[in-house]
Amino acid sequence: MGILSIILKRLGLGVLTLFLVSIIIFMAVNMLPGDFAQALLGQAATPEAVAAIRADLGLDRPIASRYFDWLIGAARGDFGTSFAQANFSAYVGENSSSNYGSVATQLAPRFANTVFLASVTAVIAIPISLIIGILAALYRYSVFDRVANVSTLTSISSPEFFVAYILILVLAVLNPLLPSLSNIFDGMSFGERLEKTLLPALTLTLVVTAHMMRMTRAAIINLLASPYIEMARLKGLSPFRVIVVHALPNALAPIINVVALNLAYLITGVVVVEVVFVYPGIGQLFVDSVKIRDIPVVQACCMVFASAYILLNLLADIMAILSNPRLRMPK
């Protein structure tokens, strides 16, 4: 089977998966308790005013019709209009014209901030985790290996918000080296943006490094018992050369998969970290939109999360196939 046909097949499965996920997202978001019109009008809401706002937003239409309209718009990059950005003052006793805000316009800068945070974390976490994983495999059962395993187990077992608050206490309160709040805004220089992002990036680094380090160690150790590794040792090669030159290339497939999963987590799982540090990313936007039942924004955030996760997993599959020719052969 050719590489191109494998890639096209994976892409087709990815599109199908995204379509099924879009149905689940739309149904789940529309089943959320509460109602935007009721939340907007508060206790003084009348059935007529609530019905008028719902009709203006199209919430009184059949759910299937709303889904296909939303899906067609999302395929074009148009996620509709944000309820929170719309001005419904006419329904609450004020005189003003309606002014709708685009979800895509609201989402784009937040997504860029999240990608920047994920990129900073990846630049720090990936080299550190690979180096520690290789050294832990090279010096298996040594003091270094035991300390690395205990440290990573502690990091994995600790909730993200707990790690974040510990870092805030140590690096922002007791030793004011970094700001505790990541107030990012347009016009900041790269250095200022990096400084504001460093503390949440370090929090995420402690979380994802543990996963990648342990997978790297396990993948390399699993290959050390292979016959070709024994042959390399019998030829008198150094342990470092055996691992880096002979074991590591054949361990790339599982390592690539776990790196891709953690990169997907850096985009889809940053909600807690962004809320703790008040970081203006897509996770913070998602939480704020859920609070006020801003359905279009919640749906758009969920689709961005799902698309990033599926895309990075597809990229991991393709890179694993390219790195290991045996995966191209049908079983």
Please state the length of the chain: 331
First-last CA distance in the chain: 11
Q: What is the mean pLDDT of residues 270-282?
A: 88
Contacts of 58 (CB under 8 A, 6+ apart): 66
Q: pLDDT at residue 315 above 80?
A: yes
Distances from the Cα of 227 to the Cαs of 168, 233, 240, 256, 331, in angstroms? 49, 10, 17, 24, 23
**Contact 216/251 with Cβ under 8 angstroms?**
yes
| Choice among 97-111, 175-189, 245-259 with the minimum mean pLDDT | 97-111
- β-partners of residue 102 are 81
Q: What is the mean pLDDT of residues 168-177?
A: 88
Considering all CA atoms of the chain, what is the largest pairwise distance in Å, rounded to the nearest integer? 86
Q: Can you give the pLDDT at residue 20?
A: 92
pTM for the complete prediction? 0.79
The band of 89, judged by pLDDT with boundaries at 50, 70 and 90, is very low
Q: Can you give the pLDDT at residue 330?
A: 54
Range with the largest mean pLDDT of 37-41, 43-47, 202-206: 202-206
Who has greater pLDDT, 251 or 211?
A: 211
Domains of the chain: residue spans and CATH: 3-103 (no CATH), 108-291 (1.10.3720.10)
Q: pLDDT at residue 227 above 50?
A: yes
Give the CB-side neighbour count of residue 250, counting CA atoms within 13 A: 15
Q: Alpha-carbon distance 20 to 318, whole Å?
A: 22
Q: pLDDT at residue 93 above 60?
A: no
Contacts of 233 (CB under 8 A, 6+ apart): 239, 242
**Contact 196/177 with Cβ under 8 angstroms?**
no
Q: Can you give the pLDDT at residue 98?
A: 42
How many other C-beta atoms lie within 10 A of the C-beta of residue 142?
Answer: 12
Q: Average model confidence (pLDDT) for the chain? A: 81
